[in-house]
Structure 1
Amino acid sequence: MASFVTPALFPWLIAAFLVGYAVRTYYSYQKLSHFKGPPVAAVSSFWLAWQAVNARMPVAQKEALRRYGSPARIGPSLLVTDDPELLRHMSAPRSKWTRAAWYDGMKLDPRVNNIFSERDERRHAEMRSKMIGAYSGKEVETLESDIDENLQRLLTLIKQEYNGKPLDMALLASYFTLDVLSQIAFGDAFGFVQANEDLYDFNKLANEKFSIIELIVNHDFPRKLIQSQLMQKLMAPKGTDKFGQGRITGIAQKAVAERYRPNAKIKRDMLGHFIAKGLSQTQSEAESQLQIIAGSDSTAGALRITMMMLVGNPVAYGRLVADVDQAIVDGKISYPIVRYSEALEIEFLTACIWEGIRLYPPLFGLQSKLAPPEGETVNGVYYPPGTQVAFCCEGVGRRRDIFGEDADLYRPDRWLHPDPKLLRNFDWALADPVKGAISIAHGIWVQEKMMLVAWPRRI
């Protein structure tokens, strides 16, 4: 059979492809041409990919916002903002903006969406209503006692193994949060602190793959490729793996299966809440993975940030120690582990945590929202259909018009009797994306406050 494509047609086909590509690129460029940003970002995703590969995404977003203004264009159809008012508008209950395709990359279990990856607003609201009690910690009766138990293990480890010796507190913070969240999730800690080692090379592999994961999640083609059935079979972490995320997944699946057996013991932990609310076994497995994999990184990040900032600021550290010592003298702190309600009374502790999180928010990714099909004008700025707007939390926390000219400095005092507008803007900007995604904010606060009171007393 004669071929319909002769060699003479190849140049015309190539020319047609190039013309089509040029027209599409020009149209894409024009759609958001009224927004400024890195020039290459207007016509390709190269800028975004380069920042991900070099682990500069939060810093690069902040630099773009300061140079080009907010919102800044960082992709052909992608903007980034640090404007609390725009962020509030996009996430309002009756907003026409929806979750963009970035959230598809947060689907950790190929069988079902979790509360973070679910993009359908109606289904997400239904899931949230069922799970909010567990993720906020309000319906988990053992929350504080689980943290107490694991914090005591950590303090014992430090006393026995690192008395007068250097230690990697960043790694121990990760061990601690992994143990706490696993115990909160399904009743048993993984045992990272007790073993005092990176079990299953979980942290090692996660750190090595982080840039690649961010690159995949931020771009449609690699994300769809990795999430295809073929690639899921070949490359996705599996419960039978001996290392990394797959090993954690396997432990979660086994723990969930035990609790879904007939006549299984009823517990008032996170998994017990899911079961009581009628979640399927598959859905509970997906949520348990999310709690461990996403929640542990956020919580450990918050702990590391606050400790690093305090160590580098002798004045703030000295004041925190003095306030803790005074609370001890006044009989306001329990021994050996402080109660969360007692930690709440140490005002400067809260200020130290807020200030650390303001400078280095423990949040991951673009968390972009998609403009309505008809487009929308917000505060006099038109966002065409198909526009995605990403969230730069670090940019919000360092806005000089909100926090002053010293916005890049660690100064906890700014949170002592702050301007109500300042607190409203940052409280929303930090807390709402977390609550809307996995609602671990309460768990972060409980762990941070209790650990940071114990830290000056023991270390």
Structure 2
Amino acid sequence: MSSLAFLFDRAVSTLRQYPITISTVVVFFLVAYTLIARRFFHLRNIPGPWWACYTRIWLLKTLASEDSPNRYIETNRKYGPLARIGPNHLITTDPEAFRRILAARTNYQRGRWFDSLRLDPHNANLISEREWPRHNRLRQQMAPGYDGKDIKDFEIGIDENLQQWIQYIEEHGVTHPGQPVKEFEIGRSIQYLVTDMICRLCFGRALGFIENHTDRHEFLQTLEQRLPIVEKFSIYTEVSTLISFISNIPWVNKVLPSAEDKNGIGRIIGICREIIDERLSPESQAKPPKNDMLDSFLKHGLSRREAELEMTISLFAGSDTTATSIRAILLHIMSNPLIYARLRQEIDDGIAEGTISTPALEEQVRKLPYLQACIREGLRIFPPITYLRERVTPPQGDILSGHFIPGGVNIGFNLPGLLLNPVFEPDARTFRPERWLETEPEKLRKMERVMDLVFGWGSTRCLGIRMANANQSL
């Protein structure tokens, strides 16, 4: 005991004499051990960029490049369908892994990635909710509104917005003989069209995007400015946690979006709140239902606050993804003369034969095989969602793509990479609608099985599929 006491006294004496040196050495060894453990022990069997296993900076740099989809594609192409892109982050293009992780009765949980999608730091919406019981309850309550079952004039509303948009183009975007050439930005105009369509479906009226052909309330500008920031928060999720914590401080809370704001996200929240208050007023309750998504949400039990958040996120998520898809599809059609000519011929033949009315009905458009092939191919070449949407492996771990993955690992979905699957043949990067019409039935089923994953799978499959398809087709 005397020897042990002597050694202990010497150790304490040394620490007192050289506290900074000893502390530095200890920190150095702890950091070295952490780095070595990450490199040679945790996820050591999953290949990836050599330095991504040490830090999330690889992910941050990839997003900052503004070319993250292609970088993710190249990463999986180089390292395989399951690759390591962070200390505790993997990315997959394996369609079977997609289905296993997203299955209806999955043991995987949504990762902290989803916290970055909250409009309110203290209240999740359907897209950002990580607790399965509440997510499933919201999904069940909102499904009839999203798929149009509770919207009596679902297609009529879309047609009216479309006709208004075409009329605007004819008046302001068409150059007639003898007149100066008019410049018309079709890409931005499509955003105005889709945003008003979503508004009409959500709460029964447009917000004037088509009529004024301007970015009302700086809605689109805010969306384009905030999304890159949200992407960074999805990597360093500690920021979202910090915001949630400090937002309880009164003066800090004032910098968050508020219904009293004049523009941006806050203004859209304010508009949704005004419409909901009006809809729940005694005067409105005595009138016939509006037959829109808001009425459906309230009828199926969403609270006032839940309806407010869900309406706002529907406008943001629905307008951005749908407009992106439409613009991508049109770009590929217009830049391929042969494809453009064949599609025009199919439509002209349908009009001549009387099988296509003006405006075209959804059921009529679905019977145009080449148009449907163009839509499929456009979504495959340029999917509207490239975010990783990370899930967390269950505590007991799992086996994916032949690798055992321990519990608590974040796995992101590389959707653009998935849609270049070998089943689409070596020219998968080429926009070729014919591949959907000239393929033998068995292979076509395999292609469709992969393509189905564009809208998700299982209990998180996109509720707005019909809305998106109707907008793209019409």
TM superposition score normalised by structure 1: 0.92
Contact residue 424 and residue 447 of structure 2 kept, 8 A:
no
- The Cα of 1:383 is off from its aligned counterpart by 0.8
| 8 Å contact from structure 1 (residues 144, 340) kept in 2 | yes
Distance, in Å, in 1 between the alignment partners of 2:457 and 2:36 is: 34
Mapping for residues 161-172 of structure 1, pairs under 5 Å:
161-164=172-175, 165-172=182-189
* Alignment-mate amino acid for residue 173 of structure 1: I
> Which 10-residue stretch deviates more, 409-418 or 167-176?
409-418
CA contact (8 A) 1:367 1:390 kept: yes
> Does the 8 A contact of 2:115 with 2:237 survive in 1?
no
- The one of 35, 38, 43 equivalent to 1:32 is 43
Root-mean-square deviation (CA, aligned residues, Å) is 2.0
User: Which of 374, 387, 391 is equivalent to 1:369?
Assistant: 391
1:134 alignment partner in structure 2: 145
Distance in 2, matches of 1:25 and 1:428, equals 40
Does 1:421 pair with 2:445?
Answer: yes
The separation in 1 between residues aligned to 2:212 and 2:365, in whole angstroms, is 29
- Which of these residues, 346, 364, 383, is aligned with residue 323 of structure 1? 346
The match for 2:429 is: 408
Which of 201, 219, 229 pairs up with 2:218? 201
Task: Decide which moves more: 241-250 or 186-195.
Answer: 241-250
User: Structure 1 residue 288 and structure 2 residue 299: aligned?
Assistant: no
Match of residue 7 from structure 2: none
**Cross-structure match for 1:175:** 192
Counterpart residue number, 2:405? 383
5+ long unaligned stretches in structure 1: 451-459
Paired residue type of 1:18: F
Q: Could you tell me the TM-score, scaled by structure 2's length?
A: 0.89
CA contact (8 A) 1:435 1:441 kept: no
What are the superposed Cα offsets for residues 362-409 of structure 1, whole Å, 9 maximum, x if unpaired?
01411111101011123532011111110111111112x210010000
* 1:23 correspondence with 2:59: no
The amino acid that maps onto 1:415 is W
Write the distance in 2 (CA, Å) between the matches of 1:117 and 1:217. Answer: 11
The total of aligned residue pairs comes to 444
Match in the other structure for 2:471: 447
How far does the alpha carbon of each residue in 1:299-354 deviate from its partner, in whole angstroms, 9 at most, with x for none? 0011101010001111111111000000000011112x111111111111110011
- Of 297, 300, 304, the residue aligned with 2:327 is 304
Partner residue, 1:430? 454
Confirm or deny: 8 A CA contact 1:45 1:75 kept in the other structure: yes
1:43 maps to which of 54, 59, 65: 54
Aligned equivalent of 1:262: 282
- Contact 1:53–1:212, Cα closer than 8 Å, also in 2: no
Match of 1:185 among 188, 202, 209: 202
Matched, 1:98 2:109: yes
- Is the alpha carbon distance of 1:116 and 1:246 closer, same or farther for their aligned partners in structure 2, counting shifts above 3 Å? same
Q: Which amino acid aligns with 1:156?
A: Q
Structure 1 residues 334 and 27, CA gap change in structure 2 (3 angstroms):
same
Of 215, 219, 232, 2:232 maps to 215
Cα gap change, 1:311 to 1:70, in 2 (>3 Å): same
Structure 1 residues 267 and 41, CA gap change in structure 2 (3 angstroms): same
- Look up the match of 2:93: 82
Identity %, equivalent residues: 29
1:438 deviates by 4.5
Query: Alignment partner of 2:130: what SS?
Result: coil
2: CA distance, partners of 1:179 / 1:372: 41
- Flag structure 2 segments of 5+ consecutive residues without an equivalent: 1-14, 176-181
Q: Distance in 1 between matches of 2:423 and 2:213?
A: 42
Q: Deviations over 1:219-265 (max 9, x none)?
A: 22222233334386143222122222221121111111211223424
- Equivalent residue of 2:221, what SS? helix
Give 1:7 deviation, angstroms. 9.2
1:354 maps onto 2:376 in alignment = yes
Letter in 2 for 1:334: S
Please state whether the residue corresponding to 1:278 is helix, strand or coil.
coil
CA–CA distance in structure 1, aligned partners of residues 16 and 219 of structure 2: 54
Could you say which residue in structure 2 is the equivalent of 1:456?
A: none
Structure 1 pair 80–125 and aligned structure 2 pair: CA distance change class (3 A): same
Moved over 6 A (4+): none
